[in-house]
Structure 1
Amino acid sequence: MRNLNFTLVLALSILFISCDADNELKSDFEMAKEKWQSYQFEHYTVQENLSCFCSGLLEWTLKVTNNKKDTVYFENSKLYKGQTYQMVLTEAKTIEDAFEFIENFDKDNVASFNVIYDEKYGYPKSIAIDYQKELADDEITYIYSNFIPLSK
C-alpha cells in the first residue's frame, strides 16, 4: 500500500511538473498579450526600429487609429533606392501585428527567437531572431519603443 501511494504521488508530481513546463513556454506571450488587450488601446503611436545588416529605411514611427495603421513618420532622406512611403507603411507593424508575428513565426527553424515584453503595457519591446547560429550577419531585431497612447 505504501509503494502504491508513493507511486501515485510520484506520477501526479511528474504530471503537474510537465504541465507547469508547458505553461511556462506559453506564459510570457500569453500574459503579455492579455495585459496588452486589457488596456484596449485603439489609438497610439509607437516607434519601430529594425536592427539588422539590411538596406532600406530602418526606423519610423507608426500612428495607429481605430487599431489600423494610419500614418507612418520617418526621415525621407533615409529612404533606400526606390523605397516609397507606401512600402514603409506596409512593412510597419501595429502592436497587434507584432503579436501575430510572434505567434505565427516558425521558431523551430531558427537558431534563436527571443522576445522581451514591456512590463507596464505588455507589448513586445524587442523581437530578436538569429536564423543560423553559424552564420554571421543574418540576425534581425525588431525594437518597439516610445509607445504613446492617444485619445481620439
Structure 2
Amino acid sequence: MRSPIVIGTGLLVSLIFNAQILAQSTVQLPQLTAQNSPQQIFNKNTKKLHSGIITLQRTACFGACPIYKITIFPDGRVVYEGERFVKVVGKRTAKISPQAVRRLVAEFDKVNYFSLPSNYQGGPTDLPSAITSLTLGRQQKTVNHYLGSPNAPQALTALENKIDAVVNSQRWIGSKNEQTPNPNDSNSTQLKVNRQLWNQQRLTNYRFTFSRSCFCVPKATQPVVITVRNGQVASITPVNNNEPVDAELFRQYNSIPKLFGIIDDAIAKKASSLTVKYDPKFGYPTQINIDYNQQVADEELYLSISNLEPLK
C-alpha cells in the first residue's frame, strides 16, 4: 500500500507536466488594440478610394437643357466640361476636400449603386439623361438614367443632384437667364432628337404631302403627294390636278431623310434664320423656314410637310 505522500507528489508532477504541454499548444487570441479597431478596419477598406473616380454627365433634351460633364478625382480635383446651354462653355477645374469625395462615395453606397440596373429608360419623351459612374479599384459601374423613366429610384436622382451640389456646378451652369444658347445649337439639338425619333420608327414605306414656297418656277411650288417604298421615291403626284410632275424639281425633298438633310445644311451654312417644327409622334419636320442670308433677297425657303401615312 502506497503512502499518501508519494501519491500527492506524483499527482503534482503530472499536473505540472500537463500544464506545460497545454501552454505550448494553446492558440493565442489577439487583443483588440488601436491598430485593429473597427475604425482602423474601416479605414483600411477605404484605401481603395485612392483609385476612385466619380463622373456625372447631363445630356441633351428637346429644348435648352444644360449639357455638361463633371469628373471628380480622389484627391478632390474637379474637372468641368461645358458643352451647350450653360453659362461657361469649355473646361474648368476646381478643388474639393478628399473628405468630401469620401462622403460622396458613401452616398453611392447608400443607394447600393453597384447593384442598380445599368439603364433606366421609358416614360415621357424629350427629356435629358443623367449618366453617373463610379470607379473603386477594379470595380467600375455606369448608370444611364433617362430622367423620364418611371422605374428609377428617387435616391438615384438625389445622388445626381448631390454631386452637382458638392462641386457647386451652378457657378458654371448658371441660371436660366444666364444660359444664352446659340440658335444653331438649339436647332442642332432638336434635329438630333427628332432624327433619332424618326429612325426609331423604322419606316421605309410611307407617303406624305409636300409643298414649298420660294422664288422659283410655279411647277416647283405646287403641292404634291410623295410616296416612298423601301426608302426610295416611288411616285410624286399632284394634289390639285392630273398634270404630270417634274420629279427633278422635288429631288432634294422626296424623302424624310432628305428633309433632315436640308436642316443639316442650313445649320452648317449658319443660315441667318432657321425655324423648324417637328411632329411629336414620328419626329419628321412639318415646317422648315430658312433665310440663308438676310442681306440677300429672294433666297428664302419655306417647306411644309403634312399627312404622313405609314404604308404596308
Q: Which TM-score applies when normalising by structure 2? A: 0.39
Q: State the 1:99 CA deviation.
A: 1.1
Q: Which has the higher contact order (CA 8 A, sep 6+)?
A: 1
The SS at the match of 1:146 is strand
Aligned match of 1:66 in 224, 230, 244?
Answer: 230
Matches within 5 A, 1:82-97: 85-88=246-249, 90-97=251-258
CA distance in structure 2 between the partners assigned to 1:76 and 1:88 by the alignment: 17
Q: Given the superposition, is the C-alpha separation of residues 33 and 91 from structure 1 closer, same or farther in structure 2, using an over 3 Å criterion?
A: closer
Q: Deviations over 1:46-83 (max 9, x none)?
A: 11101123223212111000011111112454x7xxxx
CA distance in structure 1 between the partners assigned to 2:265 and 2:251 by the alignment: 18
Q: Which residue identity is paired with 1:150?
A: L
Q: Deviations over 1:120-151 (max 9, x none)?
A: 11001111011333555432111111111100
Counterpart in 1 of 2:197?
35
Counterpart in 1 of 2:301?
140
Q: Given the superposition, is the C-alpha separation of residues 124 and 13 from structure 1 closer, same or farther in structure 2, using an over 3 Å criterion?
A: same
CA contact (8 A) 1:111 1:132 kept: yes
Counterpart in 1 of 2:214?
52
Counterpart in 2 of 1:111?
272
Q: Which TM-score applies when normalising by structure 1? A: 0.74
Matches within 5 A, 1:9-24: 9-10=167-168, 12-16=169-173, 24=186
- % identical equivalent positions: 24
Deviates more, 1:41-50 or 1:53-62: 53-62
Q: Given the superposition, is the C-alpha separation of residues 127 and 138 from structure 1 closer, same or farther in structure 2, using an over 3 Å criterion?
A: same
1:126 corresponds to 2:283: no
CA contact (8 A) 1:71 1:89 kept: no
Q: State the 1:24 CA deviation.
A: 4.8
CA RMSD, 1 decimal? 3.1
Long gaps (5+) in structure 1: none
CA contact (8 A) 2:253 2:259 kept: no
Number of equivalenced pairs = 139
Long gaps (5+) in structure 2: 1-94, 97-165
CA distance in structure 2 between the partners assigned to 1:56 and 1:91 by the alignment: 17
Q: Which residue identity is paired with 1:68?
A: Q
CA distance in structure 1 between the partners assigned to 2:257 and 2:282 by the alignment: 13
CA contact (8 A) 2:252 2:258 kept: no
Aligned match of 2:261 in 77, 85, 100?
Answer: 100
Q: Given the superposition, is the C-alpha separation of residues 53 and 25 from structure 1 closer, same or farther in structure 2, using an over 3 Å criterion?
A: closer
Q: State the 1:35 CA deviation.
A: 1.1
